[in-house]
Amino acid sequence: MKTTTRFSETLLGSVSLDGHERGMRLDLDVETDEPLLPWRTVHAKANGRIRVTGLTDDSTVTADLEISPVKRRRIRYRLSFNAGGRRLTLDGWKSVTALRPVASMTTLPFSLHEDDGTIAGSGTLHFPLSTSLVPFLRSFRFLRHFAPIAAHAHMAPRWNGEAGRTEVWYTTLTDPVTGTGIWLHHEVVAPTDGSPAFAHGWVAVFPRDHRPQHARFGPQPWGEPANGFVTDAIDALPGRLAGTVEDFSWELTEHGTQAPLFTFPAWSWRHALLPAAQMLPSGHSTYTGTFRFGATTLSLTDAPGASARIYGHGNARRWAWLHAELGNGDVLEVVAATSMRPLLRHLPPMVFLRLRRGTAMWPRRPERTAVGWAGWRRFRADLGLPKWTVTGRAGLRRIRVEVTQPSHHTVSLKYEDPDGGIAVCNNSERSDARIVLEQWRGGWRTEAEWTLDGTAHAEVGHR
């Protein structure tokens, strides 16, 4: 694990280029290669956007920064951008001095260079304290980066013999060749009346051109294995999924490629303080092996998906769930739910949303989407079928998630909660999703947009 620092910065000013004085704006998202401490020399990479009036609006800027305000008394910027068919390089630094600390830390004189090194122009950028200081301070994040770990880190059973508990291991994936979605659900239920715990579950397949099929297994007594979920014919073990039930059989190896993703706060998973909590042992996994249903055999190679865990007192009164593979290992995980607890059951759904892009997580803490710090219900869910939505804002970003679960690609299943009540889930591993992430830069601007056609994994359920 290593710790880095991330922040965003906006600089405004002008540049003298080709005999013209032009307005200029530079927006950068910066991440250092180690914790940002002022007495050190720290190097950083940045991506952003540069705008020069009448010349360029380049949103593909990459920059290198040397941040050394005490040791070398400077903060140096070097970046390249396209301008009217030319490739220009900006090179400049803030010369930090104790006599004028504020002015020196907020003023960036620079020169522009052509590809051959000749000077093309010069200018000065300023950090406007009145408009940019608060967003700058709010953007600071100290991030912990985890090395990829195996998906078995959180596969061990949590149930300790208490009555009124349910524990779930479930896996969803998409065959990249045929577009077929697969759902494996393994569950342990400990009834509230003290009856012996039992294991049950199901397997479902969602072909591209046919209606989904499924088969159930159990109930049968829970044998309390040392790791994972194990019954007579079904295994969900670290790195391995196997089973046979009716016309279905599967033998899959699972390779987790990311650190765990805690959809709910990590403390709620570790200490079981909420009515239920969900997490992914690996935010993204790949699956290789065979999956058979009827006369069809799928040979899977590096099929994308994920396994997840749930532990709690049973299902919510109503809920929605989404797992969206966004490409390059980026994922979006959403759970929106209204609890069965007497004081909570009449409230709107509480949203837990985690967007992982590269090594960055947004929002920084899962509590932000559930309760927020700048107002109740910053994130909202409108649940229904075949369409449901989640919208919300945290800091200088906002998101809109629109999910469609086609009726012909959705399977509805009933099952029993620990209190004997019946829950109904409507699941589709061939859902559609449109996700729009926007950032505030003097106005809302689209930062990223994803459209998933039949590859989103989604569910809506109720008690």
Q: What pLDDT does residue 436 have?
A: 97
Q: What pLDDT does residue 1 have?
A: 55
Q: What pLDDT does residue 152 have?
A: 62
CB of 66 closer than 8 Å to CB of 43 = yes
Q: What pLDDT does residue 375 have?
A: 47
pTM of the model: 0.70
Q: Cα(252)–Cα(181) distance, rounded to whole angstroms?
A: 14
Question: Residue 270 is inside which H or E element, if any?
Answer: helix 266-271
Can the peptide bond before residue 196 be classed as cis, meaning omega within 30 degrees of 0? no
Q: Cα(186)–Cα(217) distance, rounded to whole angstroms?
A: 9
Q: What pLDDT does residue 374 have?
A: 47
The CB-based long-range contact list for 235-238 (8 Å cut-off, 24+ gap) reads 236/155, 236/169, 236/171, 236/184, 236/186, 236/307, 237/152, 237/155, 238/150, 238/151, 238/152, 238/155
Q: What pLDDT does residue 400 have?
A: 97
Q: What pLDDT does residue 167 have?
A: 96
Q: Write down the H helix ranges in 109-165.
A: 129-138
CB of 318 closer than 8 Å to CB of 339 = no
Q: Cα(180)–Cα(297) distance, rounded to whole angstroms?
A: 11
Q: Average pLDDT for consecutive 10-residue bins of the chain (463 residues)?
A: 80 88 90 81 88 85 88 90 84 89 90 86 90 82 58 78 95 96 97 94 96 95 88 92 96 90 90 89 93 95 95 93 93 93 79 90 86 67 96 92 97 94 96 95 92 97 93
- The DSSP symbol for 139 reads T
Q: What pLDDT does residue 270 have?
A: 86
CB of 194 closer than 8 Å to CB of 162 = no
